[in-house]
């Protein structure tokens, strides 16, 4: 083989090699791009998973260095990577709120509850039952407890049973101790006979459904 033939053959193979490399790059680049598109949702999905899961929980929760609450729940999920971060109690929750002397200010239970840490806001859903320090009973399907502004409120139907009367209506607002409250749209006032008020330190714990 002459030097010229050798150079032409070598140039041919060099051209073929370069063409193959270019073709491989065109094949691999879309594949890499496709892989990135498939893995991205997994990262987002991971953020939606709970960072902590506890079952069979009975614990005391402190606020500003003082024990403020007792929480009992079948399952406690914490989503610290969500925006905003929150706690979820989707299998029922029972909670007691204590005053500075460790007396029970109020007790409540609900089928579902969420606590938004940054807002210090509780959202209670379905079969929400609250018993105040005075023994009054509050029943509704949705209730918000704003710890930052120290108030409890709802825009749903609510039933309040006291020692001598039952109040019903839509829209409700109260202080955290449930001692001062108002119903925005009253639908009824009914007298109650032969009822007794539960002493403030002997509130009974209801079971979680």
Q: What is the pTM of this model?
A: 0.65
Whole-angstrom distance, CA of residue 85 vs CA of residue 20:
51
Domain count along the chain = 2
pLDDT tens for the chain, 209 residues long, are 544 444 444 443 344 344 433 343 333 344 444 444 443 344 445 567 899 999 999 999 887 788 888 999 999 999 999 988 999 999 999 999 888 888 888 899 999 999 998 999 999 999 999 998 888 999 999 999 998 999 999 999 999 999 889 999 999 999 988 889 999 998 888 887 654 444 444 344 444 44
How many CB atoms are located within 10 Å of the residue 88 CB?
Answer: 19
Do 128 and 177 fall into the same domain? yes
Question: Is residue 19 assigned to a domain?
Answer: yes
Asked whether residue 108 is assigned to any structural domain, the reply reads yes
What span, in angstroms and rounded, lies between the C-alpha atoms of 195 and 42?
57
Residue 196 burial (CB count, 10 A):
7
Per-residue tokens: 114: 């969420």
- Does residue 199 fall inside a structural domain? no
CATH number, domain with residue 70: 2.60.450.10
C-alpha 85/C-alpha 115 separation (Å) is 9
**Distances from the Cα of 30 to the Cαs of 7, 27, 42, in angstroms?**
35, 6, 19
Task: Tell me the C-alpha distance between 122 and 179, whole Å.
Answer: 19
Per the structure, the complete domain to which residue 8 belongs is given by 1-47
């Amino acid at each position: 083989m002459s030097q010229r033939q050798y150079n032409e053959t070598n140039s041919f193979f060099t051209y073929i090699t370069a063409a193959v490399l270019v073709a491989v790059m065109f094949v691999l680049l879309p594949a890499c791009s496709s892989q990135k598109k498939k893995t991205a949702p997994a990262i987002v999905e991971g953020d939606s998973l709970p960072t902590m899961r506890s079952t069979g929980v009975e614990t005391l929760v402190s606020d500003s260095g003082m024990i403020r609450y007792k929480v009992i729940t079948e399952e406690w999920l914490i989503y610290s990577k969500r925006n905003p971060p929150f706690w979820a109690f989707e299998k029922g929750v029972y909670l007691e709120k204590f005053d500075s002397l460790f007396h029970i200010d109020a007790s409540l239970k609900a089928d579902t509850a969420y606590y938004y840490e940054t807002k210090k806001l509780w959202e209670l859903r379905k079969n929400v039952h609250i018993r105040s320090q005075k023994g009054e009973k509050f029943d509704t399907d949705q209730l918000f407890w704003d710890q930052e502004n120290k108030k409890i409120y709802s825009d749903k139907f609510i039933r309040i049973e006291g020692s001598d009367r039952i109040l019903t209506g839509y829209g409700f607002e109260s202080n955290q101790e449930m001692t001062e409250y108002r119903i925005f749209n009253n639908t009824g006032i009914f007298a109650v006979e032969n009822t007794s008020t539960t002493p403030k330190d002997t509130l009974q714990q209801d079971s979680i459904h």
